[in-house]
Chains A and B, each alone.
Chain A
Amino acid sequence: MLIKGRVWKYGDDINTDVLFPGKYTYTVTDAKEMAKIALEDLDPEFAKNVQKGDVIVGGANFGCGSSREQAASCLLYAGVGAVVAKTFARIFFRNCINFGLPALTSEKAVDALEHGESIEIDTEKGEILCEAGVFSFPPLPEEVVGIFDAGGLIPYTKKQLGIK
């Protein structure tokens, strides 16, 4: 998969409440509406200006807090192509895999990337291309790469159960 877009850069400990506020978890369920409130409590400019293929860059512990998977799916619905961080909180990381949203770990890339710059990610080669150069990221564990390749946990499960 080739992802091309601009960088939206934020800091450490970006939590699920600022990605997708708790007060909406049972009331906003439509994908388009979810996209509109992505990052509402972190960066009100984001949802208005995000374009397909844009990449969110965060520091350590990205996605900490709640188990709510809307914190990952709202990014996907907003057009985000990938999230690059130094480390991910575990449930958020699982939710990304389960929705087929690339969650990539590269400390060096995060340090080098700047807000607004252009970025290209080649998920097959495991490379991030940007102004500062080329950075690699580790592949997903073999056991879960199938989930990601199937487009997420639900299509993967359908395949496993032989449901078309």
Chain B
Amino acid sequence: MGKTFTEKVLGRKAGKDIVPGEIIEVEPDVAMSHDNTAAISKTFYNIGVDKVYNPEMHVIILDHCTPAANEKFAQNHKVIREFVKKQGIPNFYDIEVGICHQVMHEKGHVWPGALIVGSDSHTTSYGAFGAFSAGIGRSEMAVIMARGKIWLRVPETIRIWVEGEFPEGIASKDLMLKIAGEIGADGALYKAIEFCGPTIDRMSVASRFVLTNMAVEIGAKAGYMIPNAETLAYLRERVKTPFEIVESDPDAIYEAEYKFDVSALEPMIAKPHTVDNVVPVSVVKGTKIDQVFFGSCTNARVEDFEVVSNVLRGKKVHPEVRMLVFPASAEVYLEVLKRGWITDLAEAGCVIMNPGCGPCMGNHEGVPADGEVTLATSNRNFKGRLGNKESFVYLVSPMTAAVSALTGKIEDFREYQNDMRL
């Protein structure tokens, strides 16, 4: 019987032949944590261990509230810096580097076939590079620091096949929202997802990432894709660890299969307050917006800036809209700065913020007021997500966000296509 990618990677780690449903104890290749490392370090010391089991395994990235919004966040960062120094953890990225899920692959900590865990739910992201990666809790990370191991249940795998050419301006975010709307927020609960098909093979590194990043929004433990040529070229420049691509066998068993054709896909939007509350943008066209959040680990990479700056160049953001721009990382920031796109956005009236998570979990840098509507390129629109439960968050692609910023209302960008340099 054939094996899925997940069964192969987890089986190799467990040192035995495994089947879905089995619980195994494994040693991850990489363990990522962020601002929550302060709490993790406290739990680690509470266990009664002094030295981290394998400092090389850990990657610590500050991004969730950077720079510190108040003395509590500042203290939190200080505890982490001291912990990193004391434990000799070599892979530490301070507040200037960027969002953890972006920095992980930029700095070569992600490779095909790797087993990666992270104390952040969007750790599913690294499947876009052919890794098995799953989110875990803080205490579990503390235990990995103490003894290098974690228990995992071997998940069943579902396959999402995507074919067709994207219509002009329609992006992977529209596809992911469509998938979330159809499969539902618990449609892949406890499962590993394999995204495959000719469309997935053709997509850019950044576009593929959107799908695995949001795999957790439909309940998945991990999302995976076979790395394509562009992905491998990207990784070769960055990864020092030797790796082998792991793929599912042709006769592997999938629990379910879904098929999507993007050739007639429309711009999609997730309405408040769940990620699967999805409709075509045309249904909510005209809804007044107060803020645009262009950022997050989902959509704030170079190709997203290209789309947004092409829309806003030479134009002005609507006077009643605040448009906040957060590049995913310093690397992205520098690249889009060199290309002149930051100038375009600043001239259009955007507020250019620092690389990091921004307001994504309501810590700072753009918390909305009561009753306000935010159009976000991020991945989550739960009630109170941006820090105010009396506000509303809609999730969209960068294209929809940019066009709507111009008019102050949710827009179907296709009606504006002739008007813009797309």
Interface residues of chain A, those whose CB is within 8 Å of chain B, are 12-13, 15-18, 21-23, 25-27, 29, 40-42, 60-61, 64-69, 72, 87, 89-91, 94-95, 98-99, 141, 143-144, 152-154, 157-158, 160-161, 163
Contacts and interface: CB of A to CB of B under 8 A. Distances in A.
A22 B189 contact: no
A161 B146 contact: yes
Contact of B382 (A17, A91, A154): A17
Contact of B387 (A23, A90, A153): A23
Interface of B: 23, 35-36, 38-39, 43, 46-49, 64-65, 70, 72-73, 76, 118-121, 123, 135-140, 142-143, 146-147, 151, 153, 185-186, 189-190, 219, 221, 274, 360-363, 367, 380, 382-385, 387, 389
A90 B222 CA distance: 11
B186 A64 contact: yes
8 contacts: A23-B387, A26-B36, A41-B383, A42-B383, A64-B185, A69-B137, A141-B153, A153-B139
B274 A154 contact: no
Contact of B76 (A26, A65, A143): A26
A94 B137 contact: yes
Contacts of A68: 36, 137-138
A115 to B, nearest CB: 19
A98 B384 contact: no
Contacts of B153: 141
A15 B189 contact: no
A66 B142 CA distance: 18
| Interface of B: prevailing SS | loop
Nearest to A160: B147
Given A18-B384, A158-B47, A161-B48, A66 B361 contact: yes
A98 B139 contact: yes
Contacts of A65: 121, 380, 382
Given A22-B360, A157-B146, 17 more contacts: A17-B384, A21-B384, A22-B385, A26-B35, A26-B39, A26-B76, A64-B185, A65-B380, A67-B138, A68-B36, A69-B137, A90-B189, A94-B140, A144-B23, A152-B139, A154-B142, A163-B47
A12 B190 CA distance: 16
A38 to B, nearest CB: 14
A55 B24 CA distance: 31
A99 B362 contact: no
B221 A29 contact: no
Contact of B221 (A12, A90, A158): A90
Contacts of B120: 66-67
B61 to A, nearest CB: 15
A57 B333 CA distance: 45
B219 A90 contact: yes
Contact of A157 (B147, B382, B389): B147
Given A17-B382, A26-B72, A60-B186, A143 B219 contact: no
B78 to A, nearest CB: 12
Given A41-B389, A91-B121, A163-B48, A27 B147 contact: no
A16 B138 CA distance: 14
Nearest to A94: B137
A22 B219 contact: no
Nearest 3 interchain pairs by C-beta: A22-B361, A61-B186, A23-B362
Contacts of A23: 361-363, 367, 384, 387
A50 to B, nearest CB: 19
Contacts of A17: 361, 380, 382-385
Contacts of A98: 137, 139-140
A108 B137 CA distance: 29
A67 B137 contact: yes
A67 B363 CA distance: 16
Nearest to A143: B23
B119 to A, nearest CB: 6
A61 B189 contact: yes
B23 A94 contact: no
Given A29-B39, A90-B221, A161-B49, A67 B135 contact: yes
Nearest to A21: B384
A22 B121 CA distance: 13
A26 B139 contact: no
Contacts of A42: 383
Given A94-B137, A157-B47, A18 B382 contact: yes
B149 to A, nearest CB: 10
Nearest to A15: B382
